[in-house]
Structure 1
Amino acid sequence: MDSETAYAKVNLALHVRNRLPDGYHEIETIFAFLDQGDRLSVAPGEGIGLEIEGPFAEGLSATDNLVLRAADRLAALADGKRGARLRLDKRLPVASGIGGGSADAAATLRLLNRFWGLDLSSDALAEIAAPLGADVPACLVSHTCRGTGIGQDLTMITGDDLRDCTVLLVNPLVPVSTAAIFAAWDGIDRGPLAQGDILPAAQSGRNDLQQPAVTLVPILTDVLALLEECQPLIGRMSGSGATCFAVFDSMDAAERAEQHCRSAMGEIWTMRGRFR
């Protein structure tokens, strides 16, 4: 059975520059991806079907899902007669600011492009990915890159300085509405993201959605404080939350930080990994 990882996404920095008339926002961000995430597998079958399992499967629809939308779009571009039995192992929390459904949709496109032998180019897959959501094109690439526009204008990062770093994700198991967080943004443009090497650019950056999220989900204050006590290279919220992250220079440091957070908070979700 062929399979593909839907890599967890982290916004190392996220500058919101403008609210657009269509409801989207103009942003500048640095996307980075863990070597961990949801897992998608495929087997031959009639039509396109989806089964969902795993620790965060409860409440997810197997008939109204970005995985199926991605599969249907790819099948339509082929000959419309392709079949696949898809299985999603949902390991990432839902509505948590680390890719989730966007990463699952992107993994579907990579997996079925290979499984169906379509051999579509990266550019062709990116065109299919764009209508599925603002983060899907970046998740399709799943490597460190800068995103501008609504996050879909991507500039790949070569020779980035994150490859030796580890990252800890911490989520207080509180789902957060992306729309609600963006709606709570105060509309103030606090300036562009720095250019140059990724790590110092991210360190000097910010997440403009963090304060609105903290206001709506106060427990994030405790998560961020615990991570800061561990003296990370970077520590902040990812995307629209509620997952927070901390970047370290070793896996040992990430493990100690994980133990620190778990001993202090108890009911949380954590994941450790390396940047891809």
Structure 2
Amino acid sequence: MDMLTLHAYAKINLALDVLYKRADGYHEVTMVMQAVRLADTITLVDQPHDIELSVSIPGLPADSGNLAYRAAALLKSYAASQQGAHIRLDKRIPLAAGLAGGSADAAAVLKGLNTLWGLNLGLDKLSKLAAQLGSDVPFCLFNGTMQATGRGELLEPLPPLKPCYVVLAKPAIAVSTSWVYQNFNPGKVTVRPDIRAMRTCLAQGNLAGVAQNLVNVLESVTIPAYPEIAKIKESMLTYGAMAALMSGSGPTVFGLTSCQEQAQDIACRLQAEGVPEIFVAETVSKVE
């Protein structure tokens, strides 16, 4: 095998709670994370020695400023491998969106090069390497539906979300994850997620119950600074979404729908309102 192509799936947060700031500077979190079929495409070509990265959009780093490149360099160093690779990254997941696009790319590179280079590292070892790259990277190795704790790297598989369609809408803003966490104030949080209730609804295949329990405490930081996020949430609900929530640190908003036709209708209405980036994606129910 000298070439391999993988899909790097985006994620949304069905629930996100920030518990406290840890001594190491990270925040202790508990989240329910869900993969969706909005994906970047990673093509890996084996070559001697060097790691090279090419990207499909201007302005995206093609060196150590890109998590995909750093993932390859980390794996090469860990394995003391003399092999290299050319990585082709075709972006579809929007940047700085709260959808873990960079983390998904890094996870795909770790999985792909592990295969391409014949390293035969297990997922436990890859997960430890992934955690060195970013808190969302371990989840992106597995996809599916999982509860994440610690700083996001400790994972527990959950019963899969009942298959549904998700409308993803990103306003024309970029939000810094570090800025959001630095400005998080627990005193401004009015509602916290009920993770136990969410887990119960997932186990029962109760999509309406999952929708009723969508909560993200980081909205308390991002929405006051960017009120257009609240406007998109309101529009999604008006147009028939079961529920709407900001994903991660934002600014992307997702709405849950039970069928593709309704999701497409909501997407068309949001497009008419002028929302610049809109996607419709099915959930990924299988841990891959």
Query: Structure 1 counterpart of 2:15, which letter?
Result: A
Unaligned regions of 5+ residues in structure 2, if any? Answer: none
Aligned to 1:41: 43
- Number of residues paired by the alignment? 270
Matches within 5 A, 1:177-256: 177-188=176-187, 191=192, 193-195=194-196, 196-198=200-202, 199=207, 200-201=209-210, 203-256=212-265
1:22 Cα deviation from its structure 2 partner:
2.3
TM-score of the aligned structures, taking structure 1 as reference length: 0.92
8 Å CA contact 2:38–2:93 kept in 1: the answer is no
1:161 Cα deviation from its structure 2 partner:
3.6
Could you tell which deviates more after superposition, 214-223 or 135-144? 214-223
| In 1, Cα distance between equivalents of 2:193 and 2:268 | 35
What's the CA shift string for 1:235-273, capped at 9, x where partnerless?
A: 1100000111011100001000101100112x4101111
What's the CA shift string for 1:101-154, capped at 9, x where partnerless?
A: 111111111111111122211101101101101111111111110111111111
Match for 1:32 among 31, 34, 39?
Answer: 34
8 Å CA contact 1:43–1:85 kept in 2: the answer is yes
CA distance 1:201–1:15, change in 2 (3 Å): farther
Aligned to 1:166: 165
8 Å CA contact 1:18–1:26 kept in 2: the answer is yes
Unaligned regions of 5+ residues in structure 1, if any? Answer: none
1:37 Cα deviation from its structure 2 partner:
1.1
Taking only aligned residues, the RMSD between alpha carbons, in angstroms, comes to 1.6
1:231 Cα deviation from its structure 2 partner:
2.6
1:193 Cα deviation from its structure 2 partner:
3.0
Aligned sequence identity (%): 34
What's the CA shift string for 1:188-220, capped at 9, x where partnerless?
A: 475563322334356324100112111121211
| In 2, Cα distance between equivalents of 1:22 and 1:77 | 24
TM-score of the aligned structures, taking structure 2 as reference length: 0.89
Query: Structure 1 counterpart of 2:138, which letter?
Result: P
Matches within 5 A, 1:17-166: 17-46=19-48, 47-53=50-56, 57-64=57-64, 65-158=66-159, 160-162=160-162, 164-166=163-165
